[in-house]
Structure 1
């Protein structure tokens, strides 16, 4: 605020003091607005901190609700013979696996021909694979070995055909596209009318002209001493939740271990509790009246802040039907204190961590549409945090409202500052004019006094 420093020109009138005091009275509404602005800014800062703490809780909740945290990890002692995958829902433990035989596809080879362009003649081939028969007709007398290969590959017979040349010539090789005993092939070579084939074409039958180069076979293994068999080298279901990829026959049993990272899981639970406690403590401090210091929190009586604290605390008491083993956070060792904070019972939590699949449900189950009771508790907390901090959430709306109030306050201060400046200038002009008038009157008074004195002296003389 500008101050006036001019003094009376001779009247003795303290113009600056008078104007400054009058202007100070006019500035009182501005001072009140400045005090109010500081209070609003303090609330905006408080809501910024609440939003930050809520986002931290949101992230901690999202981690607990995520499936990756609770997935089991698996390892094989002999990855060259046996690989393991898909261990998310497998029960923790150790398994002994021995591989006696790998699954194989059926392979056949025809008698040698001069070349891939050797003429085989006309006829029909009936290929039976896995109980399904595909019949191919070759009506041209000049059908070549390559033509037969191409026709088989273009069909849906489930057979891969190729021509391989060795020292004796070109051979048609057939391999079933899938492994296992059930995929063994048979071929019937006939003439176009279904009678016996003649010439080179007749050599394409099996059993008959073609020879077996690899017998079809199922994979055979034992898991914890129990025999298992599969048409492929991928064993699914032998160990629930695990997929065993057989790579080679084992000379000694391979050990498979399935375990969960309980230390990371426990750290995630602790991070959730810490994030919740930080938000609870801040909200509690900001919304209460401290009798010991006779000090009110910045947000005492603020319905939004009080409501957020109430909703967060209420969430801890909710239950979920997602898990058959756990229903509430209290079942995991969450002990809610009088001040609303969480204290973890580590012994109880360690016991619960032995069942990661159930914890995954309790925390992260998506549940049924419209049935919040079937949803995971951490998922619900994450959704609540999202709803509070989102574009149109309570925290965002409250912060926006406070910023609007602060802007209006600033506009009003600017308006009043302009008004006070105008009043100050007007008062200065008025009191300077008064000062000048009083100075003239003082001069006239002095002159009159001098004249009277002179007259008195003249009369007495």
Structure 2
């Protein structure tokens, strides 16, 4: 704030009014100004610290969510590999057992694809209004066909109405006209579609579309323009053998034929599937868990631990030094590290070679001890139970998420602290504005008073000078 004092010495008193007023104002306001400045510095640092803690906690939660993913498990005790991924791919869960299986895929499961008879008017052919019914696996799906519909708008209505059911439609046009072709993602024998309800769009998908001789290629056939039905062949089940035992499947994902093993069929052929203990994958997942935890601990330490300055003489406080919140957060999370899990033989992290550094608070992962546990004690199948539990709440990852929830949830402890600090920042801004007004007012008042004093002193000096001159004149006349 610019000072209202005009620098210079008083003409009447020869006093440095500017310096006197500045000193008096500073003496009155410096204590409050220093208090505001100190509290503002601390407040700014704490706001930054809480923000950094929020970010660290969010990153840790993201890492825990990834490790606990149900669609991509990180702690599978077994790993399945296929010798021919172009034939099939394989995954396993913790109910699998070590073994090798010879899989021969005879044919894949196929879905239904049906076509209407040709419409000579093409995609713009008129379609009667009404309700189109598509039946599949004993379920009827209805599609409303409005007045003025065409083959193209009928296709669009099917796609809009039944996309969630895996049923879609398109139009195929050849020299004879256009056909409505309807396909489904549902596979397996008996999943053929039957279409009814609209004249011209009656399709019996349990029958293969008829053919006529191809005049251009003797001995070859073409689809009959007047015929409708299944294109090519009816829907079929997947056919395969596992070590010579015949297996069929409605879908190309075979998950119940071998306990703990799921296979996705890709093409006909033969593949050898091997199931073995997932030591390498488990070690990678555990290391990811340890790294995520250590990153959180190091962030908290950087926000709370005071450090020495460049000369090593003075202690420099961190943004949240002395604040109990970060310590409480770590204490709640660390508690879960030592709480026994729901498993049997494997119940604590120390059995996997995971220990706590007593000085830094971080985790150490002894891979030698881990590999021994996997090889000699056969704990691989129990690792997932320790981390992800037997239900949605008793695994280590779920318990840690529960421990973090009061801090990280919307409106939780960290949000409340942020709100409190923001309010404090506003209060400090208000206090600074009030102090600035006080300084300005006091400066104006003191300046006016000292200027008035200077004027009075000047007047008194002038009067004194006049009196002195008067007596000097009288003395001179008397002597004369």
Alignment root-mean-square deviation, CA: 4.1
| 3-state SS, counterpart of residue 258 of structure 2 | coil
For residues 280 and 165 of structure 1, what CA distance do their matches in structure 2 show?
72
Give the 3 Å change call, closer, same or farther, for CA 264–20 of structure 1 in structure 2: farther
Match for 2:296 among 268, 272, 279?
279
Partner of 2:179: none
Matched, 1:364 2:388: yes
| 3-state SS, counterpart of residue 88 of structure 2 | strand
For residues 54 and 60 of structure 1, what CA distance do their matches in structure 2 show?
10
Matched, 1:87 2:104: no
Larger Rg: 1
- Normalization by structure 2: what TM-score? 0.63
Give the 3 Å change call, closer, same or farther, for CA 237–459 of structure 1 in structure 2: same
The answer (yes or no) to whether the contact 1:102–1:248 under 8 Å persists in 2 is: yes
Match for 2:351 among 320, 327, 331?
331
Match for 2:362 among 335, 341, 348?
341
Q: How far off is 1:335 after superposition?
A: 0.8
| 3-state SS, counterpart of residue 363 of structure 1 | helix
For residues 257 and 302 of structure 2, what CA distance do their matches in structure 1 show?
56
For residues 350 and 390 of structure 1, what CA distance do their matches in structure 2 show?
37
Partner of 1:201: none
Aligned length: 359
Q: How far off is 1:424 after superposition?
A: 0.8
Partner of 1:240: 259
Give the 3 Å change call, closer, same or farther, for CA 353–439 of structure 1 in structure 2: farther
Listed one character per residue, the Cα deviations across residues 348-386 of structure 1 (whole Å, up to 9, x for unaligned) are 334556755532222223626xxx5xx111222234334
The answer (yes or no) to whether the contact 1:57–1:385 under 8 Å persists in 2 is: no
Match for 1:309 among 327, 330, 348?
330
Partner of 2:61: 58
Partner of 2:44: 41
Q: How far off is 1:458 after superposition?
A: 2.6
Give the 3 Å change call, closer, same or farther, for CA 18–166 of structure 1 in structure 2: closer
Partner of 2:102: 97
Query: Which structure 2 residues correspond to residues 243-262 of structure 1 after superposition, within 5 A?
Result: 243=262, 245=265, 248=268, 254-258=271-275
The answer (yes or no) to whether the contact 2:90–2:273 under 8 Å persists in 1 is: no
Partner of 1:76: 82
| 3-state SS, counterpart of residue 364 of structure 2 | strand
Listed one character per residue, the Cα deviations across residues 257-311 of structure 1 (whole Å, up to 9, x for unaligned) are 3468755653443343233233324434544567986635543432323322322
Match for 1:397 among 389, 398, 416?
416
| 3-state SS, counterpart of residue 380 of structure 1 | helix
Listed one character per residue, the Cα deviations across residues 161-192 of structure 1 (whole Å, up to 9, x for unaligned) are 5586899xxxxxxx998779xxxxxxxxxxxx
Match for 1:419 among 426, 438, 441?
438
Matched, 1:446 2:449: no
| 3-state SS, counterpart of residue 70 of structure 1 | coil
Give the 3 Å change call, closer, same or farther, for CA 283–176 of structure 1 in structure 2: closer
Partner of 2:183: none
Q: Which ranges of structure 2 fall in alignment gaps of 5 or more residues?
A: 110-193, 196-204, 214-232
